[in-house]
């Protein structure tokens, strides 16, 4: 079984998608998830393009990754300068990544019209840049931009650009379908020809403008490519990039290639949903392999068949990618999904236990209301422990009030919150201000509780996301609040759902405090 190397570009290509933006902290968390998934290379961005990417390469050094290499992305040197004097090349080296990936022109049309230099000069750009980088960084990957379009119009020159990269010592040469318009039959023929001429390991980078990105990647592998680039959930500019959530199981289960372990692939759905949550996007329920509907069955023949033999209507076992079979027309609907989720969080439930069945029904009802626990593992664990009677009642909130005041048009609003909490037999009534109603409520809760539990001072709020759930009610729609908190040793997510955004936030805040106390006190 031959190995295929996985190269993720979610943190660069993915952020070029409309409606997708990640904070530096988001990018660090995503990198950690990708490392756990077994991704070989994580492209962190273009350090010479913006402060956010520069900050990522600085902060990621503070994180311990077990498997993945961090790659920095950039371009060949500019014309009429040397690599030593080219700011882009120097910035890549200064970022101190494990790997540097640069792209260069392979389409003669781009060389003449975009760079406005001679074809020979472009070959020098490619060779000089890669040769210099090879002397200064451990590993260098070359992305042959617009390769397939370039090959179709001038195959001899397109191959010459690859030969220049090979002669310069590139560790891998990646063939890019940058415009996303090449068909799988053409990909196969061209890759096969390139492989007969280039001995350096080849990679593939495809875009989805013709809905062929995944197919093109797999055809390339079938014809000898050993390095595949893509993004989680197919995020990317225009119609997106090749979707690693489809490529990974296809490589492993269909093409019998080594890429990630069986255990790592079982986390694929969790990684997919986690990144949707950080992007604040609604997951695509019909997404292959990891979507909610990927293994959902509705109607007599299908249901009876899959209950006897799942392979009758399922192309793989859903558990291999962390998904579950769903039967939509019976009491079984959602049960396997919840049991699987409980197992993922190390909570043992017996599906035949009446108490367990009651718990499962409660969770299913909450999910129908809009709760989602993929990005809120702490809320999930608290909910289960409350239902099982194993959660200590650290405190209870008797009530709260939040006041938001704007006295003059030109003034900033002020927020104040008051809370009443009960710890043991003692009631504490506290008020606090904040730079918004949620911040004021958070400050008031902490102020009331920290005298009983000083360790709550360690909690930091890392992220706060609000999603309006589709309901057709306009400003009266249900909102879901996802909060990420943490202390010196770990981070956790909590969730709240309500028509009132303050109450939804309150639910998530209280869960965050409760989870910290559970973690510290057991």
CATH number, domain at 408? Answer: 3.30.160.740
User: Does residue 111 fall inside a structural domain?
Assistant: yes
Instruction: Decide which of 244, 278, 312 is a domain's last residue.
Output: 278
List CB contacts of 323: < 8 A, sequence separation 6 or more. Answer: 269, 289, 290, 291, 294, 295
Q: Cα–Cα distance between 159 and 352 in angstroms, integer?
A: 63
User: Does residue 34 fall inside a structural domain?
Assistant: yes
The CA-CA-CA angle for residues 11, 469, 398, to 5°, reads: 105
User: Does residue 147 fall inside a structural domain?
Assistant: yes
User: Does residue 500 fall inside a structural domain?
Assistant: no
User: Does residue 97 fall inside a structural domain?
Assistant: yes
Q: Same structural domain for residues 124 and 210?
A: yes
Q: Same structural domain for residues 326 and 257?
A: no
Instruction: Decide which of 307, 336, 371 is a domain's last residue.
Output: 371
List CB contacts of 355: < 8 A, sequence separation 6 or more. Answer: 388
Q: Same structural domain for residues 144 and 214?
A: yes
The rounded Cα 236 to chain-centroid distance in angstroms is 12
Q: Same structural domain for residues 86 and 149?
A: yes
User: Does residue 460 fall inside a structural domain?
Assistant: no
Q: Same structural domain for residues 349 and 437?
A: no
User: Does residue 129 fall inside a structural domain?
Assistant: yes
Instruction: Decide which of 452, 473, 499 is a domain's last residue.
Output: 452
Nearest to 493 by CA among 508, 478, 514: 508
**pTM, entire model:** 0.72
Q: What token pair was written down for 280?
A: 């604040």
Q: What token pair was written down for 381?
A: 């664990």
User: Does residue 339 fall inside a structural domain?
Assistant: yes
Parent domain of 415: 395-452
The CATH number of the domain holding residue 136 is 3.20.20.70
Q: Same structural domain for residues 431 and 352?
A: no
Cα radius of gyration (the chain)? 26
Number of domains in the chain: 3
Q: Same structural domain for residues 300 and 272?
A: no
Beta strands in 133-258 (DSSP E): 139-145, 172-177, 202-206, 227-230
Q: Same structural domain for residues 233 and 85?
A: yes
Q: What is the pLDDT along the chain (522 residues), one digit of tens a residue?
A: 799 999 999 999 999 999 899 999 999 999 999 999 999 999 999 997 778 888 999 999 999 999 999 999 999 999 889 999 999 999 999 999 999 999 999 999 888 887 888 999 999 999 999 999 999 999 999 999 999 999 999 999 999 999 999 999 999 999 999 999 999 999 999 999 999 999 999 999 999 999 999 999 999 999 999 999 999 999 999 999 999 999 999 999 999 999 999 999 999 999 999 999 899 888 898 999 999 888 776 544 444 455 555 655 678 899 999 988 765 544 444 555 455 556 656 667 666 666 667 777 777 788 788 888 767 889 988 988 887 788 898 999 999 999 988 888 888 888 999 999 999 889 999 999 998 899 999 999 999 999 999 999 999 888 888 988 875 555 557 899 999 998 888 889 999 999 999 999 999 999 999 999 998 887
Q: What token pair was written down for 1?
A: 């079984």
Q: Same structural domain for residues 436 and 313?
A: no
Q: Cα–Cα distance between 224 and 230 in angstroms, integer?
A: 17
Q: Same structural domain for residues 248 and 303?
A: no
Q: Cα–Cα distance between 341 and 334 in angstroms, integer?
A: 10
Q: Cα–Cα distance between 241 and 203 in angstroms, integer?
A: 15
């Amino acid at each position: 079984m031959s190995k295929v190397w996985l190269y993720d570009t979610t943190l660069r290509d993915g952020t070029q998608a409309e409606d997708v933006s990640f904070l530096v902290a988001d990018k660090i968390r995503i990198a950690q998830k990708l490392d756990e998934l077994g991704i070989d290379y994580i492209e962190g961005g273009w350090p010479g393009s913006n402060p956010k990417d520069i900050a990522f390469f600085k902060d990621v050094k503070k994180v311990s990754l077990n498997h993945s290499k961090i790659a920095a992305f950039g371009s060949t040197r500019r014309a009429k300068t040397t690599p030593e004097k080219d700011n882009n090349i120097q910035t890549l080296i200064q970022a101190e990544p494990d790997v540097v990936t640069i792209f260069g022109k392979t389409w003669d049309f781009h060389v003449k019209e975009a760079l406005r230099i001679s074809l020979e000069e472009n070959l020098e750009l490619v060779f000089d840049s890669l040769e210099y980088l090879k002397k200064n960084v451990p590993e260098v990957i070359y992305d042959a931009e617009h390769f397939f379009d370039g090959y179709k119009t001038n195959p001899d020159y397109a191959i010459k650009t690859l030969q220049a990269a090979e002669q310069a010592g590139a560790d891998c040469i990646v063939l890019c379908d940058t415009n996303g318009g090449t068909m799988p039959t053409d990909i196969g023929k061209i890759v096969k020809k390139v492989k007969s001429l280039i001995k350096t390991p080849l990679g593939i980078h495809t875009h989805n403008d013709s809905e062929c990105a995944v197919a093109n990647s797999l055809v390339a592998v079938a014809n000898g490519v050993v390095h595949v680039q893509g993004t989680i959930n197919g995020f990317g500019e225009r119609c997106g990039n090749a979707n690693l959530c489809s490529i990974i199981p296809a490589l492993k289960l269909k093409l019998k290639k080594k890429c990630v372990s069986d255990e790592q692939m079982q986390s694929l759905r969790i990684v997919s949903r986690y990144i949707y949550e950080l992007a604040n996007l609604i997951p695509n329920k019909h997404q292959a392999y990891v979507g909610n509907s990927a293994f959902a069955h509705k109607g007599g023949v299908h249901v009876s068949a899959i209950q006897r033999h799942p392979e009758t209507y399922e192309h793989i076992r859903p558990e291999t990618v962390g998904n579950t079979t769903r039967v939509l027309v019976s009491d079984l609907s959602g049960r396997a999904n919840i049991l699987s989720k409980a197992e993922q969080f190390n909570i043992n439930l017996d599906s035949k236990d009446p108490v367990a069945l009651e718990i499962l029904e409660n969770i299913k009802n909450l999910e129908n209301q809009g709760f989602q626990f993929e990005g809120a593992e702490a809320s999930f664990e608290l909910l289960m422990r409350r239902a099982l009677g194993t959660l200590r009642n650290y405190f209870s909130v008797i009530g709260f009030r939040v006041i938001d005041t704007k006295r003059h048009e030109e003034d900033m609003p002020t927020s104040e919150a008051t809370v009443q909490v009960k710890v043991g037999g003692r009631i504490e009534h506290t008020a606090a201000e904040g730079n918004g109603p949620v911040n004021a409520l958070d400050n008031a809760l902490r102020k009331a509780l920290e005298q009983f539990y000083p360790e709550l001072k360690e909690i930091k709020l890392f992220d706060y996301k609000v999603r309006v759930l589709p309901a057709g009610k306009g400003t009266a729609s249900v909102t879901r609040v996802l909060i990420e908190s943490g202390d010196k040793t770990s981070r956790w997510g909590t969730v709240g759902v309500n028509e009132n955004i303050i109450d939804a936030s309150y639910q998530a805040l209280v869960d965050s405090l409760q989870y910290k106390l559970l973690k510290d006190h057991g």
